[in-house]
A and B are shown apart, each in its own frame.
Chain A
């Protein structure tokens, strides 16, 4: 039986078993490939999306359990209309390979929504579940501080 869910403001009906993780619904069914597969066990954060504003690991949420509105990186901003946090990421030239950055940005956006001016300790606390094998952490930290400043001024 088709299951319906709302992603980036659009209602979708998908014909998949209810135990398929949201990650694989987004990527293989809806073609929203900005959300990445990294580990499948909630250990790397590459698949982070938001459900009703809360950062969650989409590899751990079954399709049948998606109760709220899903936001993915595609819903945060576009190349022609970057959100403040994406502008900060670009200004600090954060990405190297870039694979983990969708998840980093989704996690950081949830942090900033809750804590508009996070301290280094609060950034550490919120972001330590997001792995980056290129080691872009110093620039991620700087970009979060910049984004906080930009959002305060906006």
Chain B
């Protein structure tokens, strides 16, 4: 990661006005090019914001956070495909904070359209809103948007660079560009002369970029085939540097202790014992908590624990019941959104049988394997920050504000992330490191949160409640009226990140419910926002993480009320509405040999959710062989439109399912005295190797758009498990986690 530091340093010293050798190739902007944040290396060129070529070879900049989802490898593959280089010829680095790297797909995804129903109007609107991303500093990784965002522009970047390098060679050789070919990072002339790209980079940087059409998938060499991940060797040798592994010469280590009563301040403290402890350098008062700087992280943590602190109480409701009373109260209030309102939901159709149910899901922590950590070095006029984060521009701005500098004076290095799942889109851990570093100028400070601090100071997945009223008739659903209430993570995050006022219908609360591709003639989904200030944020699959369970389990209840095979019930509803969704249900039926008949001691359930443009169906099999219930097998079918890396897709869907099943079985954040009651993995456990089912994944490509894959595997997993437990035991789970109602293998 060393060289990105040099790039960023030059960039910030020179400023964005100087674009030495920086030429913008057509496709990386939408309306107007943002400044290229890269400056040319000596004897080389930065042909566009995504690529540098110099004597050391080709460096690709992936301004999306690598947190395990494989985005570095696939973004590199998109460029390499058109550039005619092999993946082993390129290095990939995280990009510096820059508007050129904004996420055009993120805001399009935030629009309240159903998604699967992509009319021209909805598409145009999404494009327009996508442009706002640049203005809004949305260099954010999330929402499974990296592939929709990068698919066209990364290939166009590679194609344009290739043709421009060829033009530089054509000028040098005095031949026509059309006579030249490219191969493995070299331009090849008709007489066999080969010129490496590195030799052409400076010349190419002086030319106007050449536009080039994209190659059809039939000609792809790299895309569509499983690629070895470019970060794999580093990650199996312990040499990959995560944020917590940053080692700057002279670094001191700090620990954090914040008010567990969320939102409360610190009234006073006695640090006399802590200051006398070994290795302790100093204490920093942060207002709502404190940090201890020491010679070793563990010594810092011990000293932080030894401080006697008088905490102010939390302004939030005291306990879990009081929190859910507020959410229930929201359900009785005015709706924030009615994003689906088909037919007549004023009364049940004549002759329909009524089904009603209420559901509840808890708050959840992200619990990334790497606890929050960041390193900062403050010099009075400059701040340098090392942080594994999903939103570099936001982090840069927030850190600048926290120490009283301009954003340009903050140099941010984005490192590998030990899991993100949405947690690292937040700026808090970087800002605390910056604030602590300001207290000890010219000394790099690494601030690491203990697992307990991490667990108890998250931006949680909101808890939610839902009421459903359904009607079934002649073996199908004819009526569905759903109400879902939760805190709005979107509104809270927009206020926190961008200072935007909360307004309008919140898609996040009802995502994964209102936009399900089911032809139910009388179909309404209303969202309600709970008036609570518990810190909430984006958790893998966001709103669909709640609704994938709530909504799909209720569909299962309706199927049973209609006395129809629950898979067939969903299939009939999807068939007329969205063919790709029907096809994933058929695929999972065929893979699992679904018969709707299970022998004694075995249960099977299906779950379905359309999220992030991906219809995903999951079947889970559970077995009761006289001990705790085991999950024995799982099958997943998903339609990603274009499968860019099948091996990575299999890993993402499997991992996303396990993340969902972990939460479904064991995940809950509860409150007492306004503080989170869970501390660490013993009371916030997840699946482990022995209770993970054997899993098969099938990727379909019937949709026309390219999609991401980090999230859509999570929502249907939770429902499939609950539906399987119903099949096994006859007990319908309407609350998570399932460990409270079932004897699950732990």
Contacts and interface: CB of A to CB of B under 8 A. Distances in A.
A68 interface: no
Contacts of B417: 97
Interface of B: 67-70, 226, 228-229, 231-242, 244-245, 247, 253, 278-279, 295-299, 301, 367-371, 416-421, 448, 450-451, 647-648, 651-652, 654-659, 662, 680-682, 686-690, 692, 694-695
A43 B67 contact: no
Contacts of A102: 238
A37 B236 contact: no
A76 B658 CA distance: 29
Contact of B232 (A27, A43, A90, A138): A90
B68 A43 contact: no
Interface residues of A, number: 63
Given A98-B235, A128-B690, A133 B680 contact: no
Nearest to A17: B278
Given A20-B299, A79-B233, 8 more contacts: A82-B233, A94-B232, A94-B236, A98-B231, A98-B416, A100-B369, A128-B689, A135-B662
Contacts of B652: 96
A86 B236 contact: yes
A124 B295 CA distance: 38
B651 A139 contact: yes
Nearest to B238: A34
A33 interface: yes
Contact of A38 (B234, B371, B416, B421): B371
Nearest to B367: A133
B654 A138 contact: yes
A36 B237 contact: no
Contacts of A94: 232, 236
Contacts of B450: 40
A98 B238 CA distance: 9
Contact of A136 (B226, B451, B651): B651
Contacts of A44: 369, 681
A79 B658 contact: no
15 contacts: A16-B296, A24-B299, A40-B680, A44-B681, A73-B237, A79-B239, A86-B237, A93-B648, A96-B70, A99-B368, A123-B689, A128-B689, A133-B367, A133-B662, A137-B658
A95 B244 contact: no
Given A17-B278, A74-B238, A135-B655, A93 B229 contact: yes
A10 interface: no
A3 interface: no
Contacts of B278: 17
A78 B235 contact: no
A21 B276 CA distance: 20
- What 10 A-B pairs are tightest by C-beta distance, nearest first? A34-B238, A135-B658, A99-B418, A98-B235, A97-B68, A96-B68, A73-B238, A124-B690, A135-B655, A33-B245
Interface string A117-131: 000000111011111
Contacts of B694: 138
A34 B279 CA distance: 23
Contact of B237 (A28, A79, A132, A133): A79
A72 B695 CA distance: 32
Given A31-B247, A41-B680, A95 B297 contact: no
A101 interface: yes
Contact of B369 (A31, A40, A76, A131): A131
Interface string A1-43: 0000000000000001100110110011101111111111101
A4 B295 CA distance: 18
Contacts of A148: none
A97 B540 CA distance: 14
B296 A29 contact: yes
Contacts of B235: 95, 98, 101
Residue of B228, B371, B662 with most partner-chain A CB within 10 A: B371
Given A37-B371, A95-B231, A133 B659 contact: yes
B369 A38 contact: yes
B694 to A, nearest CB: 7
Contact of A127 (B228, B656, B662, B689): B689
B280 to A, nearest CB: 12
A55 interface: no
Contacts of A39: 451, 680-681
A105 interface: yes
A93 B367 contact: no
Contacts of A70: none
B369 A24 contact: no
Given A28-B253, A37-B244, A134-B68, A21 B369 contact: no
Contacts of B659: 133-135
Residue of B237, B298, B654, B687 with most partner-chain A CB within 10 A: B237
A30 B692 CA distance: 36
A124 to B, nearest CB: 4
Given A21-B298, A133-B367, A43 B681 contact: yes
Nearest to A86: B236
A7 B710 CA distance: 38
Contact of A20 (B298, B647, B692): B298
A123 B367 CA distance: 25
A68 to B, nearest CB: 20
Contact of B451 (A38, A135, A140): A38
A76 B662 CA distance: 31
A90 to B, nearest CB: 5
Nearest to B657: A135
A152 to B, nearest CB: 20
A131 B746 CA distance: 13
Contacts of A43: 680-682
